[in-house]
Structure 1
Amino acid sequence: MTARHQRPLGRRKLLVALGGAAVAAPAIAAIAPHALADNGTDASGAATEAAGTLPLTVVNETGSFGNGDVHLYVVGNLDGKQVRLAPDGTLAPIALSDNGADGYTDYAISLSGSGATQLSLPYMSGRIYVALGEKLKFKAVTDGAGNAALQYPAGWVSSDPNYGVLHDCAEFTYNSSGMFCNTTMVDMFSVPMAIRLTGAKDQTAGTVRAGGRAAAFEAVRQVPEFAPLVIDDTRIIAPGHGLDAGLFAKDYFAPYIDEVWSTYTGKDLTVTTNAGTFTGRVRGEQFTFSGPASVSFARPSTRDVLFCDGALAAPNDGTTGPVAAILGAGFNRSTLLASAAQPTTDPAAFYGTELTNHYAKAMHAATEDGRAYGFAFDDVADFASYIQDTAPTGIRLTLTAF
């Protein structure tokens, strides 16, 4: 088992803090660079052509929206500076002067009049957003360090100017080490899309099965605790964001958490990672593990479980991080009580209890290969919609049928 959080690039390192803003405001991008190349600008700050461009193909197969109704945005950072992709394949720095009379930037890239749209993707780390029917409102602001930054769409915040816009995104880091990318439902699910990555291998990720979007909406609606997360036919909000917005119970996982703590007071839990096997038992309020290193965890809250953060935060240290990720996956998949040896790798055992992450369950059921990013540690045992290639030759983003 090689969980992605143990690889050089993990989602929480790839895109730090995106989607993690407070409910009251959109997220300001803070995308972590990973051995990236030049910052995409010359000494004057003008856009320059970055080396190592990768062909990016965008295909509209929604069946509901014409190419003229699809707006594309490629935004992120390079060498610690925030940038956006221009239609000609150059990277331009984010600038406060880009805000128009309405107070927002217009970084939209139009699709070709018909057929596939061909673009060139330079080295950068970021997100590819798509908006259907109307454009997204990205606002250039000044961050805490005095640099120009973007406020990203927060589709789970009712006051966000993009709340009514049908939109979604894929995430990536492209650098001299290769392309690392995923489709994501960690924050929300709205637009079905798939990634195809060619190079040393030919791989796909995130393909939603026929009727899968509607089935996911219906599955979440059928669970009373999760039903408020469905926003009309626009999106399903992830339960962590729903909790912060008052749409999801703050103590939802409490009975399961308490039972885990009680169960492993009297017996051991083993957690196998790339670093070796850890053996843990609850002592007092701490779940303490010995093995390659001594690590311990306080009793998590429901929010900690849903965000895989707080008491379940996973530092990139090779020991605490992998154990935290496996515990987080076990809570979300409700497998910790079924087996005292983790991680559970048989998907037939996931989400088998009434008290489980029904949102993540619906996301996995919606995809053709059963892989999805329903929560941040969904990469445990390789069940995330993530692919990588160290010798990429092209990437294709397909907006699939609703």
Structure 2
Amino acid sequence: MIDRRLFLGGASLAAATPLLGAIAAPEGSRLLRPASATTNLGALPVSVTNDSGRYGDDEVLVYIVGTDLTTGRHCRVDADGTPHPVSLDDNTDDGYTDYSIPLGALPDDMTLPYMSGRIYLALGGKLGIRIVEDGDGNPALQLPAGWVEDDDAFDVLHDTVEFTHNEDGMFCNTSMVDQFSVPIGIRLTGDADQSTGFLLPGGRDAIFETLSADPVFSPLVFDDHRVIAPGHALDVGLFPNDYFDPYVDRVWSRYTDTDLRVTTNAGTFTGRVQGDELLFDGGVAPIPRPTTRDVFFCDGALAAPNDGITGPVAAIVGAALNRSTLADIAEQPTDDPAGFYLDEIANHYAAVFHEHTEDGKAYGFAFDDVADFASYVQDHAPAGLEITLTPF
């Protein structure tokens, strides 16, 4: 089981709040230029194709930022595919960096070095990325916060592909955990040929329309710019902070006198509610009664340590709460999507993305990888990554 926050490989990005050879690029794509494998360890070819139908290549900017896995330092990648450590001196653009690579001006191809981070695609404007000092005084990336109206790039449509590329392979996903603005699909080739993240025709419009029509979730929609995740909306007073309380009450009531059985790679653990805690056998740490914010962020009471015991159990409980399966199904995890999000109280923000993707997969919340429903692909002998801006 993969926790996306752990899969990102310890990038610790500061938020504002083996190569098998080149692959053929799709027609109309712009490939980012490869450096030699001796220069850029890993050197995985990456292509970016603009099928948006709304923005020309000269209006699309690419940013590749994260942690250089050979040095452990925050870095940005240039159009030659070379990583450079970030510096406070990079803040030269009205207090921001300009790490953008115009899609229309890209050379023929490009590669990714060994690193963990994000590929941002911005349409119609620049992103506000600053370099700040971290707690140890090292230069660190302060990345855009698309859910913050005062963020410098709030009015710029942008989205990301998250990835970790190292000697074990390529691990990547699209994500709506924080916000959704731009429809993006990814294809990873190598030992296998895998694609994910692609929306059904008209999917973006359907997502915006569905959420706009929901009286509780409609405040998440900001014009045609983006929809923000309900946890972030909660933090700024746009979403009820007690939304999940009635559902959690039902869960707590049921498992006061009924066993909850959670199966992970480490075995099956049995839990019962005692007071304000869900207590399991087998060395699992107690899970306190979660708040609505805990459920949406899969944190707090549902924090999942990378210990192989408590972490997987907490992730499964968190996913079952978001999918509204926990109150009715005492054997978790469940893997039939037809039974997800059926309750009036559920993460309907996440549900709408699954409904409108070709493969039914999306990263609508941090534990959406439970039972393999996340828009995530991996390959241990990657040959190339293709990123597509899909039609709006």
Q: Secondary structure at the match of 2:256?
A: helix
The 8 Å contact of residues 14 and 142 in structure 2, kept in 1 or not, is answered as no
User: Is 2:53 the counterpart of 1:63?
Assistant: yes
Distance 1:86 1:374, change over 3 A: same
Looking at structure 2, the residues matched to 299 and 337 of structure 1 have their Cα atoms a distance apart, in angstroms, of: 14
What one-letter code is carried by the residue in structure 1 that aligns with 2:363?
Y
User: Is 2:76 the counterpart of 1:84?
Assistant: yes
Q: Secondary structure at the match of 2:58?
A: helix
User: Is 2:118 the counterpart of 1:120?
Assistant: no
User: Is 2:85 the counterpart of 1:93?
Assistant: yes
**Partner residue, 1:386:** 376
1:342 counterpart (327, 332, 335): 332
**Partner residue, 2:29:** none
- Cα offset for 1:96? 1.1
Q: Secondary structure at the match of 1:51?
A: coil
1:143 counterpart (125, 134, 145): 134
- Cα offset for 1:193? 0.4
1:310 counterpart (300, 318, 323): 300
**Partner residue, 1:4:** 2
What one-letter code is carried by the residue in structure 2 that aligns with 1:271?
V
- TM-score if structure 2 supplies the norm length? 0.91
- Cα offset for 1:112? 3.4
Distance 1:95 1:159, change over 3 A: same
Looking at structure 1, the residues matched to 338 and 329 of structure 2 have their Cα atoms a distance apart, in angstroms, of: 13
Looking at structure 2, the residues matched to 158 and 17 of structure 1 have their Cα atoms a distance apart, in angstroms, of: 25
**Partner residue, 1:103:** 95
User: Is 2:350 the counterpart of 1:352?
Assistant: no
Deviates more, 1:117-126 or 1:300-309: 117-126
- Cα offset for 1:227? 0.4
What one-letter code is carried by the residue in structure 1 that aligns with 2:2?
R
Aligned residue pairs, count: 370
Distance 1:20 1:369, change over 3 A: farther
User: Is 2:248 the counterpart of 1:257?
Assistant: yes
What one-letter code is carried by the residue in structure 1 that aligns with 2:279?
T
Distance 1:245 1:15, change over 3 A: farther
Looking at structure 1, the residues matched to 334 and 83 of structure 2 have their Cα atoms a distance apart, in angstroms, of: 43
User: Is 2:316 the counterpart of 1:322?
Assistant: no
- Cα offset for 1:110? 1.4
- Cα offset for 1:246? 1.0
Looking at structure 1, the residues matched to 210 and 323 of structure 2 have their Cα atoms a distance apart, in angstroms, of: 16
Q: Which runs of 5 or more structure 1 residues have no equivalent in the other structure?
A: 28-47
**Partner residue, 1:230:** 221
- Cα offset for 1:49? 2.7
Distance 1:172 1:101, change over 3 A: closer
**Partner residue, 1:371:** 361
Distance 1:364 1:19, change over 3 A: farther
Q: Secondary structure at the match of 1:68?
A: helix
What one-letter code is carried by the residue in structure 2 that aligns with 1:227?
S
**Partner residue, 1:219:** 210
The 8 Å contact of residues 324 and 341 in structure 2, kept in 1 or not, is answered as yes
The 8 Å contact of residues 19 and 187 in structure 1, kept in 2 or not, is answered as no
The 8 Å contact of residues 72 and 109 in structure 1, kept in 2 or not, is answered as yes
What one-letter code is carried by the residue in structure 1 that aligns with 2:390?
T
**Partner residue, 2:270:** 279
Q: Give a deviation string over 1:25-50, Cα, whole Å, max 9, x none.
A: x15xxxxxxxxxxxxxxxxxxxx932
Distance 1:389 1:194, change over 3 A: same
- Cα offset for 1:117? 5.8
Looking at structure 2, the residues matched to 179 and 328 of structure 1 have their Cα atoms a distance apart, in angstroms, of: 26
- TM-score if structure 1 supplies the norm length? 0.89
User: Is 2:129 the counterpart of 1:131?
Assistant: no
Looking at structure 2, the residues matched to 390 and 299 of structure 1 have their Cα atoms a distance apart, in angstroms, of: 39
Looking at structure 2, the residues matched to 49 and 145 of structure 1 have their Cα atoms a distance apart, in angstroms, of: 29
Q: Give a deviation string over 1:107-162, Cα, whole Å, max 9, x none.
A: 00111359x96211111100000100111121111111111112100010111111
What one-letter code is carried by the residue in structure 2 that aligns with 1:184?
S
The 8 Å contact of residues 68 and 110 in structure 1, kept in 2 or not, is answered as yes
Looking at structure 1, the residues matched to 44 and 210 of structure 2 have their Cα atoms a distance apart, in angstroms, of: 38
Distance 1:18 1:362, change over 3 A: farther
What one-letter code is carried by the residue in structure 2 that aligns with 1:53?
A
- Cα offset for 1:338? 1.9
Matches within 5 A, 1:185-204: 185-204=176-195
Aligned-pair Cα RMSD in Å: 1.7
Looking at structure 1, the residues matched to 115 and 97 of structure 2 have their Cα atoms a distance apart, in angstroms, of: 20
User: Is 2:201 the counterpart of 1:210?
Assistant: yes
